[in-house]
Structure formats: C-alpha cells, structure tokens
Amino acid sequence: MGKASQSKKIKRVQQAGVSRAPGQRRQLGYPAAIVGIVVVGLVLVFFAREARRDTAAVVPTTEDVWYDAFGVDICGKVQSGLANTGDGTGPFVILGNGLIKIAPSAPEDAGENATFGRFAQEVGITLGENSFTLPSGTTYTTGQPCPAVEGQPAQNGTAALFVWPPQANENSEPRKVTSGLGEVRFTEDGQIMVLAFVAEGQQPPLPPSVAALSDPEADGTPVTTTPGAPSPESTTTTPDGGAPPSSEPPASAPPATEPAPTSTPGG
C-alpha cells in the first residue's frame, strides 16, 4: 500500500472519531437535563420531609380521641383523688379509671396546644419551675427532702414529669422532664405520664392506670369535683396496693414521716 493511501486511511479514521466539526460547540443539553432532574428530585424530597414533619406537629387533631395513662407519685406513694375542676367535658379530662382523655374539639386545643399544662389546669394542678402544687395547696419543690424509708436517711427530692411511650413496661426508660413541665406535649395515643416528687436519682413505677389502657372506655366517666371530696394526698396508697400510711407516726418512728412541702397561698 502506498504512503498516500495509508495517509488517507488514517485521516478517515481520525475524522470518524470526531463528533463535531472544528469550532462547533459541545452539546450540553443532556448533562443539563440530568442535573435538572437531580435538583428537582432533591427539592421534592425536602418538601415531602417537611410535610411529614408538619403533619406530625399537628397531632392530636380535632378528629382524634386519645387515652393516656396518668399518675401522681409523692416520695414513692401513689396518690389518688384527682378530679376535674369543671364539668368534665373539656378537651383534657381525668377519668374514673385514671386515664387522661384527650379529645380536642377546636384548633386551639389541638396539635402543639395539646400540652400537659392544659390538663394540669383542668385538674387544679399548678406547675412551677422545678415545682408543682397539688389541688390541696401543697407544693413540692426540687431540693426539699423525701422522708427516711426503711431506716435510710431522708434524701432530697426532685419534682419531675416522667413520660413513657405507648406499651412501655417496668423495664422501659422514661423521659424525665424537670423544667417546663407544662410545655410537654401529648404526642401519642397510649402514652404514660407520672407527675412525681421522688428522691434524687430515683424514678416512679408505672401508674396503676396503665392497666386501663387495654379498655379505656371501662369506668371511663370523667371525675368531677364534689364538695368534701378528698384531696390526692389524703387518699394515698402504696404502689403494691397496701394500706395508706397512718397520719400519726408511732412513738418510735422518726418525727418526719411525711415530705416537707411548702404551701403557697391559694395553691
């Protein structure tokens, strides 16, 4: 093969590998389309995630009816006797089985407004910073002592709200809230809450009302305040269902047999 023919063949091969003529601009449409698809996809994912967050933030809605277990524990003694200060028709009420019925009927009671503070107002509990006051007017503040138990010295107590998720058991670890108690939200049907004043480092057991979650409509009538009704402190029971402690200490017992609460005028 002559040199001229070989040169022509090489030139043809080189030209075949060139997709554009000299001076022609590179085609950018396809890469730009790919980039555009990726950007649009990321934007859609972002808005979908924000939509899910917004949806989660508004529960409970005005269509929801939830039942959460509740209890009050003072230095290891389960309290009873809470009642609604109104007629028991509000969005957050205590029932005879110890459950909180959460049934917002208006936007101002739903979503982020469905808080423990709203319920506390309904049953006459006043929430403070690191403290709470029961309907009797007795205040429990972090730093006050819980009485000696079984020969152990008295320990400083902590005012806190303990929150368990639905279907929790005695081995489940609760969330412990020691400030801003009124801002804690009801976020799930079947949650468990205990307002407690317990020795530092301790946590209360699950409240007896947990058993009612399996059939919340049983004995689910709202409890209303009646003249002469006992205060929670006067109807204490032990966690195992034993008899309430005597109001008068035995002669051999230490002088302090009850927590050393403070009282605030008017509750």
236-253 confidence digits (pLDDT tens): 443 333 333 333 333 333
Q: How far apart are CA 53 and CA 48, in angstroms?
A: 9
Distance CA 71, CA 193 (A): 7
**Is residue 226 in a domain?**
yes
Residue 259 belongs to a domain: no
Q: Give the structural domain span for 159.
A: 63-239
Residue type, 158: T
The whole-angstrom separation of Cα 2 and Cα 27 is: 38
Is residue 230 predicted with pLDDT exceeding 80? no
At residue 179, does pLDDT exceed 90?
Answer: yes
Is 25 among the domain residues? no
Does residue 59 or residue 12 have the better pLDDT? Answer: 59
Residue 172 belongs to a domain: yes
The token pair at 24 is 């022609």
Residue 202 predicted with pLDDT over 80: yes
Does a structural domain hold residue 164? Answer: yes
Q: What is the pLDDT of residue 18?
A: 53
What confidence score (pLDDT) does residue 134 get? 97
Phi, psi angles (nearest 5°) of residue 183: -90, -10
Q: What is the mean pLDDT of residues 50-63?
A: 68
pLDDT value at residue 21: 54
Query: What average pLDDT score do residues 23-36 get?
Result: 70
Asked if residue 260 belongs to a domain, the reply is no
Domain membership of residue 229 (yes or no) is: yes
Domain count, the chain: 1
Name the pTM for this structure.
0.66
CB 139 within 8 A of CB 132: yes
176 touches 183 (CB < 8 A)? no
Which of 166, 135, 158, 134 lies closest to 69 in space, CA to CA? 166
Residue at 36 is within a domain:
no
Q: What is the pLDDT of residue 255?
A: 40
Percent residues over pLDDT 90 in the chain: 55
Average pLDDT over the chain reads 80
Q: Which of 86-100, 134-148, 194-208, 221-235 has the lowest mean pLDDT?
A: 221-235
